[in-house]
Amino acid sequence: MPVFVYQALQAGGGKTSGEIEALSRQDAFSKLRQQNLQPFLLAAKGAEAAAAAGKSKGNRDESNVLTRQQVLLFTEELCELLEAGLKLDRALQVIEQRQDKSPLKAVAASSRQSLREGATFSAALKTASPSFSELYCNMVKAGEASGTVSKILKRQVEFLTMMGDLQRRVTSALIYPSVIFSAGVALLVIFMTFLLPQLTSLLNKTGQTLPLATRVLIGVSEFMGSYWWVLLILGATIFLGFRHFTSRGDGRAWWDRAKLQLPVFGPLLRMRFYAQFTQTLATLLNNGVSLMQAMQLIRNATPNVFLQGLLEKVAENVQDGAQLSRAIARVQFFPPTLIDIVQVGETTGDLGAALERSAKSYDKQLSVVIERVTALIQPMVILMVALFVGLVAYSMITGIMQTVSGLPKR
């Protein structure tokens, strides 16, 4: 009989691990549930070591790169097949047998092969393509733990569709401002490179003292003409240094927190997190996952390091016996409305339903915030270009007018 290696949460909140004999992975999952254990890692014996060895050797298939639209299509098709009653292996086989020449076939074939070797579906996706993000794979892992892979995939379809729609709306909103910005930059380059030096030479011949704004503009033009390469190197150094600093450790934690405080995009990021947190937690709780395990899975599915730390504190408080409403209130990040909704759900004994209603509310608020952000982008870019061009024009016109007024009258 096959042997499965597991790691699970006990009813009291502690962790345990071991091995169990079962006819299949589903049978092993059922046996562990009968022992009041909530498995968060369950794989055929040897599969875990093989996966680790494969990872160390770099066996992840980097050639199966999918676009955002292809990831969405793969998720939609797989979700529809699972909801139609097909098993995961058979659903992947259907996608593998597509008639068109699509990279989805290779991804489905690789995932199906990993499943047959005893890997979990989330681990199979990680191996099959680098296009499946950590968030995506951890969400699938949460669905495996709760037995709701199809529901999690459906939520992923909604999330990917929303993000794709956001990207399209932002792109559409930026087309006109980008044209204006490019034209403004081209005009300024021509002016600063050709016209301004000639105008400067003419003004200097008059012997008049130029206004401060005009002298500053001339100085900037001369510096950029002589030391443009210094500015290029400095800009590249700052960009690469900032990217390196924010890619790991304390720098990444600082940047992940700073992004949530940005004037325009901060509310959007926070609202997206609230919607995802409530919806995911509601899905897990409504499908029998314990609160402690659900918090751990949500933490792993959150790419923001700062938010991961907050969720870890919430999980620690819950493990110490605090109610979820008090635990999230202590971290002082969640809005009072959400805390009140969680408290009502705990009082009525139906926390999952309360979180489900809250998730729908945050989805609506997220749509409103997206509309506001996309509406602000266009006038902001146009205003910036207008201010910059206007400042240059004012500086030069002021210099010309003062020079002309100072000429001797005949």
In a structure prediction context, what are the per-residue pLDDT tens digits for the chain, which is 410 residues long? 678 788 776 766 667 888 888 876 667 777 887 887 766 667 766 544 444 444 433 455 556 788 888 899 999 999 999 888 888 888 898 988 877 777 888 898 888 888 887 788 888 898 888 888 776 887 788 777 767 788 888 878 887 787 677 667 767 766 777 787 788 778 777 777 777 777 777 777 777 777 788 888 888 877 877 887 898 899 999 999 999 998 888 889 899 999 999 887 888 889 888 988 888 888 778 766 778 878 887 887 788 899 999 999 998 888 888 889 999 999 989 999 999 999 999 888 888 889 888 888 888 888 788 778 777 777 887 888 788 878 888 887 887 787 777 666 65
Query: What's the whole-model pTM score?
Result: 0.65
How far, rounded to the nearest angstrom, does the alpha carbon of residue 103 sit from its chain's CA centroid?
Answer: 24
Tokens of residue 369, six digits: 């915030």
Nearest to 15 by CA among 34, 35, 38: 38
- Domain extent listing, the chain: 155-410
Give CA–CA dist 218/231, Å, rounded: 17
Say whether 99 sits in a helix, a strand or coil. Answer: coil
Give CA–CA dist 76/79, Å, rounded: 5
> 155-410 is classed in which CATH architecture?
Up-down Bundle (1.20)
